[in-house]
Amino acid sequence: MPKRTLEEMDHQSAQVSTPDLAHSKKKRKAKTAKEATEQENTVDSVEETKAERKERKRLKRMKKLGETETEGKPHNGIEAINPIAHQEELEASDQITDAKAAKKADKAKSNALKKAEKMNKDPNASNGEGLSAAILPVHNETWPYLSAGRDLIGVAETGSGKTMAFAVPCARHILSLPGGKNKGPRAVIISPTRELAMQSYEQVMLLAKVSGLQAVCVYGGVPKDEQRRALRTADIVVATPGRLNDLINEGCADLSKAKYVVLDEADRMLDKGFEEEIRKIINTTSTERQTLMFTATWPESVRALASTFMKTPLRITIGDNPTGDLRANARIVQKVEVVDPRNKEYRLMQLLKQYQSGAQKDDRILVFALYKKEATRVEGFIRSKGFRVAGIHGDLSQEQRTRSLEAFKQGGTPILVATDVAARGLDIPAVKLINCTFPLTVEDYVHRIGRTGRAGKEGLAITLFTEHDKAQSGALINVLKAANQPVPDELLKFGTTVKKKEHSAYGAFYKDTGSEDKVAQKIKFD
């Protein structure tokens, strides 16, 4: 192949490149022209959009000023509007919408009121949302009087269904009030412990969902911010005395419109020293209130409180205990075992194995200890033996207590070790109970075992009694006999003497005067 000179190669390259360059220039010119056309179209589009926007603004000003000269005439492709006629149409539409909304609200209120009335008359009625109130004696006896607006004192045993006894009339009462719902507290339910407050709140919320009411649960151990916000629109306040009193003092809880006040477990609240807080709370409610008091016993302290705040109250006693004296639920099978203190934990383990095996392996068992340290130790001991267990006592945060309680309720943790902080308020079906240590008073014993045998069902309570508890033997024997329960011979050996009630200042020998004593009369001499 002949060699080409450098000049020949350059000349050939130039010949090949020239057409390509020309074609490229032509292509760039076409692209530039196309982009220019698109830009012009875009500018026109933007200008048209601006024109339309300007026209809309002009029509808006015309509408505001009430101009009518362009009525029915098109302008730049946009149909002119009669502002006055259009405004009248809008107002008419708003009126129709408001009327529909008001009619809808009245219908909802009427339906909710009918549901509450139906439940008031037929406790077996269900709303289709899981709420079904079983008919119980406490409901039959109290609802007619509460519906009539009477102040009422209900003396009933534990597990008798007291919560729904005051919750259903509460919802009906609020729905019948003028002024609508969610305008602030119209009802206040005061409970002695967080656990009982939370339990009552859950029952109240079942009714609130049906009737469109709002409720809030106020208790200590958690931040106040969320409770403050909820109090602004809540119709029903379920609270412990301490935290509610704090929020009242801060000006965050206005109870002046509350005309339905419930003192739940009144005897327990007085035992815990909440009398001053209760009086302060009641004094902030409406003077036209309806006041309810539910209690398991009828001691003098409860009578005195009732005489202060209630207007000719009607006292209803549920069961065969007309005097309101301390008495255990007759449906609870009480078994008392006298054991050596050193063998108590061994016997506890035998019982847990007995009731946590076979068909009963998922049964829930509530174990009571006396002190917080003891509860922690017993919980650790049970866990070390391979059982699923949780604890609830005063050293735990509210979050931990709630978590333990939920796990126990759902069945994920079948054993719960608790102090007396949980003796009231736990309402869990099919619970067996073991008193690992006897409480300080027989009153606490009755309330402890009241966690089983609830809502008309039978229960089982086993108590491990030692020589350290012999001071309570006489009172315990009386409770067993009153409930027709067997009294073991080992317990009788400790004696049947009942220790006299002691006063903090005057000891065991003082006269417990009552409000029913005769009032001194003024004698006038001539």
The mean per-residue pLDDT over the stretch 237-251 comes to 95
pLDDT band at 522, cuts 50/70/90? Answer: low
Rounded Cα gap, residues 454 and 2, in angstroms: 116
Q: Environment class of residue 47 by beta-carbon count within 10 Å: exposed (0-12), middle (13-18) or buried (19+)?
A: exposed
Does the pLDDT value for residue 128 go beyond 90?
A: no
Maximum mean pLDDT: which of 44-53, 241-250, 261-270, 308-317: 241-250
At 14, which helix (H) or strand (E)? helix 6-65
Q: Which fold has domain 332-492?
A: Rossmann fold (3.40.50)
Q: Which of 2-11, 243-252, 378-387 has the lowest mean pLDDT?
A: 2-11
Cβ proximity of 463 and 339 under 8 Å: no
Closest by CA position to 488, among listed 465, 472, 458: 465
Q: Which of 195-209, 290-304, 319-333 has the lowest mean pLDDT?
A: 319-333
Does the pLDDT value for residue 11 go beyond 90?
A: no
pLDDT band at 27, cuts 50/70/90? Answer: low
Does the pLDDT value for residue 12 go beyond 60?
A: no
Maximum mean pLDDT: which of 12-21, 54-63, 267-276, 334-343: 334-343
Residue 429 has a pLDDT of 73
Bigger pLDDT: 28 vs 255: 255
Residue with tokens 């139906």: 118
Does the pLDDT value for residue 459 go beyond 70?
A: yes
Query: Matching CATH topology for 121-317 and 332-492?
Result: yes
The residues facing 334 across adjacent strands are 461
Residue spans per domain, the chain? 121-317, 332-492
- The pair of structure tokens assigned to 20 is 């390509």
The mean per-residue pLDDT over the stretch 62-66 comes to 52
The string of pLDDT tens digits covering residues 345-375 is 999 999 999 988 777 777 899 999 999 999 9
The bridge status of strand 389-392 relative to strand 152-155 is unpaired
Q: In degrees, to the nearest 5, what angle opens at C-alpha 29 toward C-alphas 28 and 32?
A: 85
**pLDDT > 90 fraction of the chain, expressed in percent and rounded:** 37
Rounded Cα gap, residues 458 and 449, in angstroms: 12
CATH for 121-317 is: 3.40.50.300
- Beta-carbon contacts of 189 under 8 Å, excluding residues fewer than 6 positions away, are 166, 170, 197, 200, 204, 236, 237, 238, 239, 262, 264
The string of pLDDT tens digits covering residues 97-114 is 555 555 555 555 455 555
Maximum mean pLDDT: which of 12-21, 284-293, 503-512, 514-523: 284-293
pTM: 0.58
- The pair of structure tokens assigned to 248 is 């009242």
Rounded Cα gap, residues 456 and 329, in angstroms: 10
Residue 472 has a pLDDT of 92
Does the pLDDT value for residue 409 go beyond 60?
A: yes
Closest by CA position to 269, among listed 297, 227, 249, 232: 297
The mean per-residue pLDDT over the stretch 178-200 comes to 85
Average pLDDT, the chain: 76
Q: Which regions of 178-300 does DSSP assign to beta strands (E)?
A: 187-190, 215-218, 236-239, 260-264, 290-295
Q: How many CB atoms lie within 10 A of CB 317?
A: 16
Bigger pLDDT: 360 vs 241: 241
Q: How many CB atoms lie within 10 A of CB 490?
A: 13
Rounded Cα gap, residues 138 and 155, in angstroms: 9
